[in-house]
Amino acid sequence: MLAAELRLHGVDVLVLDKDAEPTRVVRALGLHARSIEVMDQRGLLERFLAVGTKHPVGGYFAAIPKPAPALDTTHPYTLAIPQPTIDRILAERAAELGAEIRRGAEVVGLSQDERGVDVELADGTRLRTGYVVGCDGGRSTVRKLLGIGFPGEPSQVETLLGEMHVGDAPDRVNAVQNEVRKTEKRFGLMPLGDGAYRVVVPADGVAEDRNVPPTFEEFRQRLIVAAGTDFGVHSPRWLSRFGDATRLADRYQIDRVLLAGDAAHVHPPLGGQGLNLGVQDAFNLGWKLAGEINGWAPAGLLESYETERRPVAAAVLDSTRAQGVLMSLDAGPQALRRLFSELMDFEDVNRLLIERIVAISIRYDVGEGHALLGRRLRDLELKGGRLYSWMHEGRGLLLDQTGRLSVDGWDDRVDHVVDVSEELDAPAVLLRPDGHVAWVGSDQADLVSHLPRWFGRRSGA
């Protein structure tokens, strides 16, 4: 995602991937509303819709079943797509835009100075680059080489995850699963077709090394413990394990090296937020880093990546902590769960919790004023089309309902769309490349005073 965003701004990008081949392991299962909007903003949504399945919103928070609240988005659904497919589409997009993706390239060292970063690979290759972004997961080599702290809580419980064939009839599988899930939410068998299932079951303790996958026999025994049967499982495709460690990097940036995604934050998969959080990190960072590299970024723009995204990650970590408590089988957490279930019958409470998970309620601090400031703007119906159709190139956008404004001097970075929408109660809005509102008003002088904060100096100035 980050490579594609950088290429939209003409930045040369090399993606180094330690794995020689894309993984088949399916950890994440789809996109929430804000990530769907992100793909729509970049003209990618049709690719995802072609391979995904829409599911109604609901039951996200601690698996408490509640109907979907009304959400301020044109995409009020979850798009179910296995993570390898999401990875493939984004890799294809990055390559189309000119990014180089080099597989089997493991980073083992880096050092930086005022002008760039030196990167050492396991095969002895040395590379010189302007910036490095570690998107290398919870065990991030880049984070460790930088010496950035990763405080939080270690895993207390572990879950086995895999894909395999199931011999029992679907009706029996469903009946047993429904009974087990009345109390154990970390259990489930999801049909994939042709007799194959995605299987999740609690592990027996926490493994010393989670890089070592579980054995198939271990999987069978844990199914028997949890459900009284192994469902006749056979022919595993892949087996994995994950824990509930919750950690947040002390910093997201040291000079020319930055962190994004799981390299900066890890948490249990409750609510399905991990992949989405990483995609949205990249969406926030890409245009800012490109502005820095291309020389137009104002002071502090790149640093705003950390000040905006680290609090978002902290809130997600708190959300998963709370959900973990509510999913405990102990008496106290079960009493809390019953209370939360009653509270979520109030529409506003249900909406607040769901909006946090699908990430459409995020507000960045861009200053005081209009209620839209700092918030992302949903896709609006304009007289001449849709708002997001104007955002495919990753530039800023002035949506001007007055027809009297101008972005002269910034038109190499900001598009000016004169159109009207019955859904927008503001004379004009200035959107950053990530779709968040940076200014609302109708006065040209006021607009000109705000443009430099996000898009640098006027050309020629």
Q: Where are the domains of the chain?
A: 2-153+247-358, 158-243, 381-455
Q: The domain 2-153+247-358 is classified under which CATH number: 1.10.760.10, 3.50.50.60, 3.90.550.10, 1.10.287.610?
A: 3.50.50.60
pTM metric for this prediction:
0.93
pLDDT of residue 269: 86
- The pLDDT value given to residue 404: 97
Percent above pLDDT 70 for the chain: 100
Residue 328 has pLDDT above 90, yes or no: no
Mean pLDDT of 260-278: 94
Over range 343-357, report the average pLDDT. 95
Residue percentage of the chain with pLDDT more than 90: 88
Alpha-carbon gap, residue 457 to 451, rounded angstroms: 8
Q: Which helix (H) or strand (E) holds 114?
A: none
DSSP one-letter string for 327-374: T--SHHHHHHHHHHHHHTTSHHHHHHHHHHHHT-S-B----SSSTTTT
**Which pLDDT does position 444 carry in this prediction?**
98
- pLDDT, tens digit, 9 for 90 and up, residues 376-414: 999 999 999 999 999 999 999 999 999 999 999 999 999
Q: Same topology for domains 2-153+247-358 and 158-243, yes or no? A: no
pLDDT of 184 over the 90 cut: no
Please determine, for residue 261, whether its predicted confidence score (pLDDT) is greater than 80.
yes
Residue type, 241: R
Span 6-48, pLDDT tens digits:
999 999 999 999 999 998 888 888 999 999 999 999 999 999 9
What three-state secondary structure class fits 430?
A: strand
What CATH topology corresponds to 381-455? Glutaredoxin (3.40.30)
* Average pLDDT of the residues of the chain: 95
Instruction: Tell me whether residue 2 is exposed, middle or buried, using C-beta atoms within 10 angstroms of its C-beta: 0 to 12, 13 to 18, 19 or more.
Output: buried
Q: What is the mean pLDDT of residues 411-431?
A: 97
* Mean pLDDT, residues 178-182 taken together: 91
Q: How confident is the model at residue 290 (pLDDT cuts 50, 70, 90)?
A: very high
C-alpha–C-alpha distance, residues 287 and 292, integer Å = 9
Look at residue 142 in the predicted model and tell me its pLDDT: 98
Q: For residue 250, what pLDDT is reported?
A: 98
Lowest mean pLDDT among 47-56, 112-121, 267-276: 267-276
Cα(354)–Cα(59) distance, integer angstroms: 9
**DSSP 8-class letter at 436:** B
* Each residue's pLDDT tens digit, 133-168: 999 999 999 999 999 999 999 998 899 999 999 999
Q: Residue 211: is its pLDDT beyond 80?
A: no
Side-chain-side CA neighbours of residue 162 (13 Å): 26
Pick the CATH number of 158-243 from 3.30.70.2450, 3.40.50.10800, 3.20.20.140, 3.90.1150.10: 3.30.70.2450
